[in-house]
């Protein structure tokens, strides 16, 4: 597996992991409304506080990668960032969203704590460099078309700017035919690059284009992927949650019901604890 050059390595500064040994990135796929977004953020933050798990709230201001031209994309850059700023200020949690174009980066960095590079854009050099130069934490989703080792050159791009605030997220590999496969070997392989690795258990169960004009998914497998990833050494969990997944305006089939989040996290904490303190 390729490795990050030693002389290019800068000490990572990302310190979200708390005493629980695990952190959570969670929220709806897309911002549907101010009230809905802030309300979900409060409920997710409360779960994290009860369990001692640090939370980063995620929601997209624009879903640029949609199957259909008619699919809901979100409120857009300005309105979406205003809502995320309200979440950050009123709920008191860090916020994350995707950037799709270099023109969005500077404006997004004024609000976001974590800039996310979508999987399909993970090799777009100009976008990665623009995001990294903000000095914000960068969450790179591994492309569905990449082997884990192929993340090394992407990490090098970010490090070249002097930014070492990096998260690497696994979200499965596609072989076509409306399905994704998650190989848990990718967790330790990407961890060997020296940065926290996150499991995106929602998009790992997605079926791209599986519903014809939209993506499908099998949310019943989210807990299984999450548990397997933590057992394999994942540092964080990425999961899309919704108070009513059947009515979610994006990714309804791979969103976890909010009322199942606490039980899942409690299970993951037990696995994490067992790995750290085996009896």
pLDDT tens across 15-35, in order? 555 556 899 999 999 999 999
- Tell me, what's the pLDDT at 212? 56
Helix axes 261-276, 222-231, angle to 10 degrees: 20
Helix (H, G, I), strand (E, B) or coil at 147: coil
Question: How would you class 6 by CB atoms within 10 Å of its CB: exposed for 0-12, middle for 13-18, buried for 19 or more?
Answer: exposed
Listed residue (39, 43, 42, 24) closest to 258, CA to CA: 43
H or E segment and range at residue 261: helix 261-276
The pLDDT tens digits for 77-87 are 999 999 999 99
pTM for the model stands at: 0.92
User: CATH number of the domain at 13-276, please?
Assistant: 3.20.20.70
Looking at residue 211, its pLDDT comes to 61
Q: Tell me what pLDDT residue 279 has.
A: 66
- Tokens at residue 201, please? 């258990």
Closest by CA to 56, choosing from 238, 251, 268, is 238
Q: Is 62 helix (H, G, I), strand (E, B) or coil?
A: coil
Domain ranges of the chain: 13-276
What pLDDT does 222 receive? 96
Rg of the chain over all Cα atoms, to the nearest angstrom: 17
Query: Mean pLDDT in each 10-residue stretch from start to end of the chain (279 residues)?
Result: 47 50 95 98 98 96 79 92 98 97 98 97 98 98 96 98 97 87 96 96 83 74 97 97 94 94 97 85
Query: What share of residues in the chain are helix, strand, coil (percent, to 5)?
Result: 40, 20, 40
Residue 191 CA to residue 193 CA, distance in Å, equals: 5
* pLDDT value of residue 196: 95
d(CA 216, CA 180): 11
């Amino acid at each position: 597996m390729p490795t990050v050059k030693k002389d290019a390595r800068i000490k990572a500064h990302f310190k979200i992991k708390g005493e629980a040994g695990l952190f959570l990135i969670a929220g709806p796929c897309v911002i549907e409304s101010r009230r809905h977004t802030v309300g979900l953020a409060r409920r997710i933050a409360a779960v994290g506080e009860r369990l001692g798990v640090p939370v980063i709230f995620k929601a997209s201001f624009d879903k640029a990668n949609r199957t259909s031209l008619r699919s809901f994309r979100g409120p857009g850059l300005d309105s979406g960032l205003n809502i995320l700023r309200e979440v950050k200020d009123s709920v008191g949690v860090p916020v994350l969203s995707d950037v799709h174009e270099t023109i969005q980066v500077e404006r997004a960095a004024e609000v976001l704590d974590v800039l996310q590079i979508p999987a399909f854009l993970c090799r777009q050099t100009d976008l990665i460099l623009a995001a990294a130069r903000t000095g914000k934490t960068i969450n790179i989703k591994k492309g569905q078309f990449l082997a884990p080792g192929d993340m090394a050159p992407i990490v090098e791009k970010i490090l070249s700017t002097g930014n070492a605030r990096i998260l690497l997220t696994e979200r499965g590999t596609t072989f076509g035919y409306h399905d994704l496969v998650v190989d848990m070997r990718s967790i330790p392989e990407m961890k060997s690059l020296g940065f926290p690795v996150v499991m995106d258990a929602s998009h790992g169960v997605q079926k791209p284009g599986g519903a014809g004009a939209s993506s499908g998914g099998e949310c019943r497998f989210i807990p299984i992927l999450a548990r397997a990833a933590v057992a394999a050494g994942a540092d964080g969990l990425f999961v899309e949650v919704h108070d009513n997944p059947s009515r979610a305006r994006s990714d309804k089939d791979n969103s976890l019901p909010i009322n199942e989040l606490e039980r899942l996290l409690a299970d993951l904490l037990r696995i994490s604890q067992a790995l750290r303190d085996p009896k």
